[in-house]
Amino acid sequence: MLLIEHLLSGGIITNYYCTSSCRHCLYRCSPYWPKDYMTKEMARNAFETCKRLGCFSVHIGGGEPFLNLQGLLSVLEAARDSGISIEYVETNSSWFTDAEKAVSILEKVKGLGVSTLLVSASPFHLEFIPFKKVLGVVEACKYVGMKPFLWTEAFFNLFQGLDPSKRYTIHDLEIIFGKDKIRQMISSYWIHPGGRALETFFDSGFTFEELLERYQGGCQELSDTSHFHMDLYGNYIPGLCSGLAVETKDLGKPLDPSKYPICSILYEEGIRGLFRYASSKGFMPSKGRQYGAKCSLCFHMRSFLFRQGESLHELAPNSHYKI
């Protein structure tokens, strides 16, 4: 049985809505999600769960956490009150308007014990956010004495030569810097086969029969807590398997397969088990359909089950499947 009893390292998802719809986004964040934000009570619950399972520091991410400053400050207060330290807060810098406001915002965040800001700089982000906002946040960060953690520094340096007021598509960057260079840099960027990356990077290569032959065992990834996340809805996301959810109150004990049939099947039998289960409900890929990874087939089957109204508490949040 799947048992998540010790949390190693992870983060809190305060919101799924975002200014951007990056093509690689593991959580499919975008402006089209509900404008829900983690409440202080839910944050307390998440931090108490972390402590109960042995984890005393986390990062904060989204969505874009800074889109609701009061909400973010409440979450940080809850962390402080619970004795949880914040490793860093992630940002895409979209909220930057001018230096003075950015400094004032970051001073409030720093005042609640945050010393590092993970600032995104990548071709995916640059499609939505002009680089001048990233530069502005990095400067404000240094001004207030916070450490900017550039993700990635290589892209941050590369973009110095661009017009900072413009947004660039990946195609634009390939023309400016050369296709090979951009593709090589993207290939060394951390991209996980989940969320929107499935459509962007993992949509071809194997038939479902080949994947079922190749992956015979269960998905042990579901029990990996080295990069866990908990979200604003009280869900724990097992492994990096976005779109799967376990209620935080069910952590620390074996998961009941009758409550979590999909997670249990995936953990015990992997995509072969889920294929058997989904097939019994009428799932069958169209002829010639290709997948780039086992997680692509898994998501296709889960989307089918979601549309059938199956086990919706573990196929969550619902916008992950709807938007």
Kindly tell me which residue out of 7, 37, 64, 182 binds ligand SF4, with binding defined by CB under 6 A. Answer: 64
Rounded Cα distance, 323 and 312, in Å: 16
- Distance separating the N- and C-terminal Cα atoms of the chain: 31
Considering CB under 6 A, how many residues would be counted as binding ligand SF4?
21
Confirm if 103 and 140 have CB atoms less than 8 A apart: yes
Please identify, among the stretches 77-85, 182-190, 218-226, 280-288, the one whose residues bind ligand SF4 according to the rule CB under 6 A.
Answer: 218-226
Please identify, among the stretches 57-65, 73-81, 108-116, 246-254, the one whose residues bind ligand SF4 according to the rule CB under 6 A.
Answer: 57-65
Give residue for tokens 């023309």: 175
Rounded Cα distance, 299 and 5, in Å: 26
| Encoded tokens for 49 | 């769960």
Please count the CA atoms within 13 angstroms of the CA of 4 that sit on its side-chain side.
Answer: 34
Nearest approach, Cβ of 83 to ligand SF4 (angstroms)? Answer: 27
Cβ distance to ligand SF4 smaller for residue 28 or 44? 28
Instruction: Look at residues 112, 169, 101 and name the one whose alpha carbon lies nearest to residue 137.
Output: 101
Strands ordered across the beta sheet of 246-247: 147-151, 116-120, 85-91, 57-61, 10-13, 228-231, 235-237, 246-247
Site string for ligand SF4, 234-253 (x = CB under 6 A): -----x-x------------
Kindly tell me which residue out of 2, 12, 22, 58 binds ligand SF4, with binding defined by CB under 6 A. Answer: 22
Please identify, among the stretches 17-25, 38-46, 66-74, 253-261, the one whose residues bind ligand SF4 according to the rule CB under 6 A.
Answer: 17-25
Kindly tell me which residue out of 15, 49, 74, 92 binds ligand SF4, with binding defined by CB under 6 A. Answer: 92
**CA–CA distance from 292 to each of 180, 198, 203, 211 (Å)?**
21, 8, 5, 9
Q: In sequence order, what are the beta bridge partners of 229?
A: 11, 237
Rounded Cα distance, 200 and 179, in Å: 17
Give residue for tokens 């929107």: 196
| Encoded tokens for 239 | 């492994």
Q: Is the peptide bond before 317 cis (omega within 30 degrees of 0)?
A: yes
Nearest approach, Cβ of 277 to ligand SF4 (angstroms)? Answer: 13
Kindly tell me which residue out of 38, 121, 295, 305 binds ligand SF4, with binding defined by CB under 6 A. Answer: 295
Cβ distance to ligand SF4 smaller for residue 135 or 295? 295
Nearest approach, Cβ of 271 to ligand SF4 (angstroms)? Answer: 5
Kindly tell me which residue out of 271, 305, 315, 316 binds ligand SF4, with binding defined by CB under 6 A. Answer: 271
| Encoded tokens for 187 | 């290939």
Nearest approach, Cβ of 23 to ligand SF4 (angstroms)? Answer: 9
63 touches ligand SF4 by CB under 6 A? yes
DSSP state of 307: H
Kindly tell me which residue out of 221, 224, 268, 269 binds ligand SF4, with binding defined by CB under 6 A. Answer: 221
Cβ distance to ligand SF4 smaller for residue 51 or 261? 261
Binding residues (CB under 6 A) for ligand SF4: these are 18, 20-22, 25, 29, 62-64, 92, 125, 219, 221-222, 239, 241, 266, 271, 294-295, 298
